[in-house]
Every structure is written in structure tokens, then in C-alpha cells.
Structure 1
Amino acid sequence: MRIFLHELDDLSVTLTRVSFFLHTTLLWTTEAFPAQSVVMASPRLISSAPGDDVVLRCHLEPPVDIQALTVEWSKPDLRPDPSDPLRRVQYVHVHRNGGEVTDMKLRSYAGRTELLTEQLRHGNVSLKILNVTLADAARYRCFIPKLKSAVREATVQLVVDPNYIGEPTEPQLSPRDSQTPDPDENLDPTGRPGRSHVIPAVIFSVAVILGFGIGCFLKHNNHRQTTSTTPG
């Protein structure tokens, strides 16, 4: 009976150590790969004709209320005005403190941009551009400077084609495209595996260690029993 109780104590100690290791590992994983809202543009390419009203769709995933944060829409490929000695950056649209900031706005977009402010509480930072022109064809960047995230920006490409017929839209994806994931979508901005892949890997590793530990314990226990029953 004493031998049996001693074996139970050994098993209890082993399981306690493994449980502590598992708990510590999961805590480290949670801290190393925290869940954060990231800025996403969908679709990333929009086609339109001159005179159309277009919406550059951008949102946070998972959604979070950003009414108190600054939202900047700009043209990243646009060079500063060489005649400006300060080489100040100008924006397509800047939203700050509940309203639009117009003193840094590009003149060609005056009165033609709208942020869907009522959707900011849902993490929607889409920008509407009215009466697009050929000069509006460009890459647009949505940037949230004070967002606590590793991914604070996204870009949308706007194509303005005089021969385009139909509603402003993105190109249709083939079934293969819609089912094939982006090879980088499971990487964080530093190039490391994303949290969704790391946690299962950690859990699997701990399960293997746990199984190995229990197997060794049972093997050791069986060896002790065999030794104790062998005539001296």
C-alpha cells in the first residue's frame, strides 16, 4: 500500500510540474503575441470612371472604437511641393478631434472627401471621394498614428479609366484566388509566425512533453514492480 501511495505522489508531482510548465508557456505566448486590431483595406484595388463617387474601404480587424483617434488619408507616392520651403506633407483627408482638419488638405480634394464618421465607433475608417478625376488615380494610404498596433496603416489603389463602364468596383477574383491564402497572411509585421499558428504549436509541444513524461513514469513504475517481485 505504501508503494502505491508513493507512486501516486510521484505521479502527482510530475503532473504538477507539467501543468506549471504549460501555464507559464501559455502566459508567455499570450504576452509575446497579444491580440491587436490591425488596419485592413478591402478591396485593395478599385476601378472607376471620371465623375464617379468612390469609397476607399478601410477598417480595423477586430473592430474597435477609434472616434478619439486621428485618421490620416494621404497619397504616399506624392512628392512634397518643391516650392514649399518647409516641404510640408499634405493630405487627402485628416480627421482629428471629431472633425476634419483642412489646413493640411490637398487643394484638389477640397470639398470632395468625406469620412464615414458615424462608423468610426465600429472601426470603419473608409473614405468617400466625390466626382473622381483622372488625376485622382493613385495609391491611397490610411494611417492611424496612435493606434496601439503593429499594423497601423493600409493602402488602396484607385484606377480611373475613361472607358470604364459600371459601378466603381474591384476586379472579380477567380475561385482559386478566393481560396488561396496570402503566403504572408500568417506572419506578423516582423516576419514571425502569427499568434494563430504559434499557440497550437506550443500546445502540441506541451502535449508531447506531457505524454512523454507520463510514459516514462509508467515505464519506471513497471520496472520497479518487476524488480520488487523478482526473487532475490
Structure 2
Amino acid sequence: MADKPFSSDETRRYARHLVLKGMGGAGQQMLRRARVLVVGAGGLGSPAIAYLAGAGVGRLGIADHDSVSLSNLHRQIVHSQPGLGKAASAGTFATRLNPHVEIVLHEQRLDAGNVEAVLENYDLALDGTDNLATRRMVAEAAERLGLTLVSGAVSLFDGQVTVFAPGGPRFAALYPGEADDSDLPSCEATGIIGPLTGVIGTLMAMEAIKLITGLGEPLIGRVLTYDGKGGRFSEFSF
């Protein structure tokens, strides 16, 4: 089936993409056909959701069972009111930003019994959750389904982003099975600088757009790290 032409509103909305060499109308149509799931509508999920919605992803799933708390608002930019469900709050933001995007909310807690049923409806997933157990579960489900996963993590002043893709290095190559959440400092205990989540979450959206459109070289088998205090990016392979 041929792609539907862009409406006049879409043509104006995506004008900077449509004139961008390497993207153009073909790339924008790929974005419109894409089905992307963001797991976690918190610090990392917020900028990822904002930029993917703004970019015109056709279907944007948002998975989060938690509610917005006041302490979230210094970094979770799609939310403005405590007490609301994070998925619904993020969905409202995304719809207001771009009504052409289909928003699908997954407000249940993801677990071993439902994670594959949720992921199998998408072409690509982004994981911005804040605990290793959930990240491992999502990564393993994505691997079983042959789904590419963009993964981000932050702590204190530092963050990282990578891509797990079929045929590439597995999640276990970066996070061995013996690694546990007790080995990692929690945001609640140690704090986190707000803009850091924007840096890493935006990089996650960038990787997603590259994967959807075929632009550039995605971070498969590579980890891009950011030292916020030093203002430096580094990279290592795994």
C-alpha cells in the first residue's frame, strides 16, 4: 500500500525534516509508519517521548505504572502535576505536541507474564527505567522477539546510552547476570542533576530516529557515555 500524502499541517510541521538531506519525505514516511514503545515515562522517557512525538512517529506506546510525584518535576519534563499516572500524563503531553501521533498507553506494571505481549506490538523499544531488574527483563524479552532496544541509564552527574540489536552484543555482555540493583546507587539515595536526563533521553530519541530511517551509524556494540561535570563524551565497545 502506498504511503498517504502528508497533509498541509504535517508538511509545515515536518518542514525541517523534509528539506533535510538524508531524511526528506521518504524518511518522514518511515517515521510515520514506525511503532515505537518507550518503557518508563520518567527522566529519560520524558525527553525521548517529547522528541519522538515531535518527529512524527506513527504509533508511540508509553509504558509506566507509576504516578507523578513532586520530586519528579525537576527532570521529568513532560509532567506538570503530581498525582497523575505517568503514562497518561506523558500521553497528554505528546498529543498536545503532535495530534498526528497515535498514543497507546500501557499503565500496567510490566512483568514476566505480560512484557512480551506488550513489546510484540512494536518495531522498536526504548528503555529508560531506573532499575536493573526491569531493564534486564525488557532486554531479554526484546531479544526473544528479535526487537531492537535503545537503552539509557543515568546516575548522579553521568549517563550512558547504547543499542541492543538482533545479531549484536547482548544485554548480558554489558550487565552480567550477577549484577544487581543493590550494586547501583539509587536516585532517591544519591540524587541526580536534572538536565542529565535530558541529555541522555534526547540521545535515545536520536538513536531511535536513526534506526527507523537508516540514517548514520547506531550505537550497536558501543556505549556512549557522558560526564556531566567534566562536560565530556566518551565511547567504549563491548
Determine if the TM-score, normalized by the shorter chain, exceeds 0.5.
no
Question: What band does the TM-score fall into relative to the shorter chain?
Answer: under 0.3
More helix by share: 2
Instruction: Answer 1 or 2: higher relative contact order, Cα 8 Å, separation at least 6.
Output: 1
Whose Rg is larger?
1
What TM-score do the two structures reach when normalised by structure 1? Answer: 0.24
- TM-score, normalisation: structure 2: 0.24
